[in-house]
Amino acid sequence: EHAYLRLTGQPWKLAETKRCIIRESVVEDVDSFYEIYADASITEYMEDLYADRDEEIAYLYDYIKNVYAFYGYGMWTVLEKESGQVIGRAGISLREGSEIPELGFMIGVAWQRQGYAYEVCQAVLAYGEEELDFHCFQALVMKGNEKSRKLCEKLGFVFVEDVEMDGTIYERMLMETKKL
């Protein structure tokens, strides 16, 4: 089924939770991303989309072709089941220079403080463990991002160290799902 979907350019559905569907991103998601990222609080602790919509679309095409197709994982789109609306992104990435997969997440402001991020991140971590055979995850939380740090702690991550990347300080947090 995955080979057929990849061959026909259709997104894989990675997980389903009580209220959400997590699937690979498609170009049709880009306008929803811009709506979500329009709130300044979204990019306070993470990078923004490209200013030029066409550049973002080109980036997403490359991401689908090179990341999803090669690794079989990445940052995915989160849809609210009931409405079918794009409400955020979540997924697993492998940062250059690290061997530990990294959890990433972003839920639009209208859906924050309702448990969506926790629900989605639990499903992403379960997918990483069960389907990708990952048993250790990291999260890099920008210093001062209390909401994300608290969510990571609730998920089972523990603080390991502060790290600096490109002039920004992050709290590096780790979580092991099984003993290696």
What pLDDT is attached to residue 34?
Answer: 96
Single pTM value for the model: 0.92
pLDDT in tens, 101-112: 999 999 999 999
Per the CB < 8 A criterion, the answer to whether 77 and 25 are in contact is: yes
pLDDT in tens, 22-48: 999 999 999 999 999 999 999 988 889
CB 37 within 8 A of CB 93: no
Please tell me the predicted confidence (pLDDT) of residue 2: 73
Percent of the chain predicted with pLDDT > 90: 81
Supply the pLDDT for residue 72. 85
Fill in the amino acid letter for 93.
Answer: S
